Amino acid sequence: MGGLLVGGLAHAQQPLPNRNVNNGSVPAYEGEIKEPTREELDGEFKKRTEQQILRLQEYIQIISDKKQSDENRDKAIKEAIKLFQPGSVVQVSSGKKGSSVISRTVGDYFRRLKALQYPQVEITFYDATYVGDYRKGADGGYYTTATFSQEFKGKDEKGNIMYQDKTTKDVDVSLQNLMDEDFYKQNRWIIKFGNIKVTETKTPGKPIN
């Protein structure tokens, strides 16, 4: 079965997402943890992967929004980091034309995003997010890749664009039988993000449209 296409996320300044609504895992099984079926992988878990990507995008928008309070932005950083496996890195475009790509740890990426020197920062997500088919790994976990596109605008005090780019990114996603420390205190199938890679960057000089 092919991957699942899901709608893009329009720019919106929202309160922090409620982690109790969806933590990327399915209801706990009583007794032995069952292996997910192909139907569950292609249906329920792809939908839950979509939801986790949406949460990540919401956190990115909150962290980058200078109109949000420091407290709210710091909380978003903390919650966003929890979506990732330890040691994960995020690639970002750099340079005047976004011509180079550098890798940062997840925590460093979010802290730098909050500290950007532009007076105004606007990040929006467009097109569709693509979630590929889950495949089983040698360690017993399941793995896939999710792809999304974002537009970044750094503006001055008057709202004039100082820097702009559109970037397509691939997110490594894993489905692991892990201890759920937050709620159920037992093993569950939990979705975690790994590395985020830049696959394409467009700036107005390339052109952007």
H runs (alpha helix) in the chain = 38-42, 44-64, 70-82, 106-114
User: Given this model, what pLDDT does residue 184 score?
Assistant: 53
Is pTM beyond 0.75? Reply is yes
pLDDT reported for residue 97? 60
Domains of the chain (ranges plus CATH)?
4-202 (3.10.450.50)
What's residue 204's pLDDT? Answer: 83
CA 208 to chain centre: 22
pLDDT tens for the chain, residues 1 to 209: 444 444 444 444 445 555 444 455 544 444 457 899 999 999 999 999 999 999 999 999 999 999 999 999 999 999 999 999 999 999 998 766 657 899 999 999 999 999 999 999 999 999 889 999 999 999 999 999 999 999 999 999 999 999 999 999 999 999 998 766 565 556 789 999 999 999 999 988 654 44
